[in-house]
Amino acid sequence: MTPKQIDRFCTRLPAATRTVQWEGVIVFKVGGKMFCLIAPEAHSVGRVCFKSAPEHYEALSRSPGFRPAPYLARAKWVAVDDPGALTDAEMKAYVRRAHAVIAAALPKKRQKELGLPLLPDDERRGR
């Protein structure tokens, strides 16, 4: 996917918002919490970054085409310098999962305000 296609995809996710921050980086949020970034070419953070499920971070950050996201790796974010190296389905799945991880961490009241589906407590914790 191109960054423009990723941008369109992210804005269509439930309760997603888009803003531009930090030297032209496009930031997508749900409930005020970031789930995906699209940076200008050659930006130090990487072309596309997204939140990883904590249990998948170690393996994903070491996979070909991925690396720990600068400044955000401690929060289990990964960077993809060449988003075109992934299939459209792969990129969409990673971004959709990033959105779900952040949305699930929001308080239930906030999830309800945003019209997000409420998950049972076990699913919210990834069990």
User: Which domains does the chain possess?
Assistant: 3-124 (3.90.1150.30)
> Average pLDDT over the chain, rounded to whole?
88
Nearest to 6 by CA among 86, 67, 91, 89: 91
Q: Predicted confidence band at 72 (pLDDT cuts at 50, 70, 90)?
A: very high
Structure confidence by residue, pLDDT tens digits, 79-127: 998 888 889 999 999 999 999 999 999 999 999 999 887 655 544 444 4
**pLDDT value of residue 47:** 84
- β partners of residue 29: 17, 34
**pLDDT value of residue 118:** 67
Nearest to 14 by CA among 26, 25, 29: 29
**pLDDT value of residue 83:** 84
pTM for the full predicted model: 0.86
| Mean pLDDT score, 15-20 | 96
Rounded to 5 degrees, what angle do the CA atoms 40, 45, 47 make?
45
**pLDDT value of residue 122:** 40
**pLDDT value of residue 111:** 92
**pLDDT value of residue 24:** 87
Q: Predicted confidence band at 43 (pLDDT cuts at 50, 70, 90)?
A: low
